[in-house]
Structure 1
């Protein structure tokens, strides 16, 4: 018997902050792309809360600078167990290799080092397979695939052994979604690239992993909640019967960056409420 939307949790997420702390992360430095809003902003804030200084990057310069300042002000007003990390925001177009190099140079100039690099920026286009245009597939691969490669290259040039890179893949790398052919293809490429980077950058003592989110409550997936049919389908195929929150993606990210994952590389961790199994 199928389950109706009314019988399920109506799309609510668990946005409680993650309580895990890794003391060794205080004083480290991270670069986070796509950090103006959504998961990227949550990643930047969560890291700074734990003492990591962050260069927050986004193609929307005004918004990412405002986000960085806002997070900094909020942290300064809180009573935290450890001194929060500092944060700066700057513009970066992830399709431009030189912009990644500028991010790396800014991190080193401001904070003296780079320990973590999170390739989070991405786009989520829609078109049925027969309607995917050259412009759409080109833009999707440039942002979602080339943007990850260029970020990893810049990170590898500036990281010391012990550094960690985390790429944002998706359960769409494993599951086909109608109308998202370009996106699914790009995320499958990210998953495989993560394995390739892990093999090659292991020689430099740099770990590379990926996170594969499912239905997460962000602006990129707002269409799910705005469409009753799409929401019903999402809640039906997710065994936990709710959408995830950016905070629930941050937990695995934090683990992958920490020393607790120091012998883990080349893996993609699905954060999808189990939907990849349905």
Structure 2
């Protein structure tokens, strides 16, 4: 499918690995000029033409600098995120751990939207990577779930505020994705997900959804969450 994105400009946060890197590759393949904001140094195999700004999404000056480097923009994608204190009971989570998780996963998305939308004079699309953990919880994920739930409402509020400007804001909300972060979280850094009794996304699956939401083919989609959980939210807990 031709998403008609050739010639557009995008900023991607967290583009060094995982979903972010897959998104950089997918957008580049669609003919988009991509700028990345990431704490890491640029990978050696980065696609030609990708601009890179090293910085943290919680640093407003770094976000603003990345927007200046890549702007004017048509697309902004917030992929930067952290797991936070996984596997900890709420009573054992420090204020610093909780705050850092919210700062990266939620405040970082706000800063991206604040500055990227100002660099979209002709309208555009902002896509946040949220999670199915914004809808359902598992033990030991208090900070992560809270931060991702906030991203959903942030998208709705921004979609409302930015609609007059012609800027759409949406989320993708995947379940487990095979990334270095998820492998580490689940103790699968060496073995990976092969053979486990549950379905797992590849980063490219999420990147494809991001590209669709960023395109004019999704022009009627605004303020929503595109859930990718293999139908888990559709299933009733009723024992039938």
Give the TM-score normalised by structure 2. 0.90
Residue 95, structure 1, aligned to residue 76, structure 2: no
Q: Which runs of 5+ in 2 are unaligned?
A: 236-240
Q: 2:175 aligns with which of 214, 237, 246?
A: 214
Task: Give distance in 1, aligned partners of 2:188 and 2:210.
Answer: 28
Select 2:47's aligned residue among 58, 69, 72: 72
Once residues 69 and 130 of structure 2 are traced to their aligned partners in structure 1, the CA distance between those partners, rounded to angstroms, is: 26
What is the distance in 1 between the residues matched to 2:216 and 2:139?
39
- The list of structure 1 runs, each at least 4 consecutive aligned residues, that deviate by more than 2 angstroms after superposition, is 223-227, 275-278
For residues 115 and 218 of structure 1, the distance between their equivalents in structure 2, rounded to whole angstroms, comes to: 27
CA distance in 2, matches of 1:72, 1:246: 17
What's the TM-score once normalised by structure 1's chain length?
Answer: 0.78
Residue 177 of structure 1 and its aligned partner are, at CA, apart by 1.3
Q: Which residue of 1 aligns with 2:238?
A: none
CA contact (8 A) 2:5 2:32 kept: yes
CA contact (8 A) 1:244 1:273 kept: no
> In structure 1, the residue corresponding to 2:186 is in which secondary structure?
helix
Alpha-carbon deviation of 1:271?
A: 1.3
Unaligned runs of 5+ in 1: 1-19, 74-85, 236-240
In 2, the alpha carbon distance for the partners of 1:104 and 1:277 equals: 38
Deviations 1:116-164 (A, max 9, x none): 0001100002121111110101101110110000000001111123300
Alignment of 1:34-183 (within 5 A): 34-60=14-40, 62=41, 65-67=42-44, 70-73=45-48, 86-108=49-71, 113-125=72-84, 126=86, 127-183=88-144
> Which structure has more helix as a fraction of its residues?
1
Determine which structure has more spread, i.e. the larger CA radius of gyration.
1
Say what the alpha-carbon RMSD is for the aligned residues: 1.7
Map 1:222-237 → 2, pairs under 5 A: 222=183, 223-224=185-186, 226=188, 235=197
What is the distance in 2 between the residues matched to 1:254 and 1:119?
12
**In 1: Cα distance, 2:231 partner to 2:94 partner:** 32
Aligned length: 228
Q: Following the alignment from structure 1 to structure 2, what is the Cα–Cα distance between the partners of residues 142 and 119?
A: 13
Q: Secondary structure at the match of 1:30?
A: strand
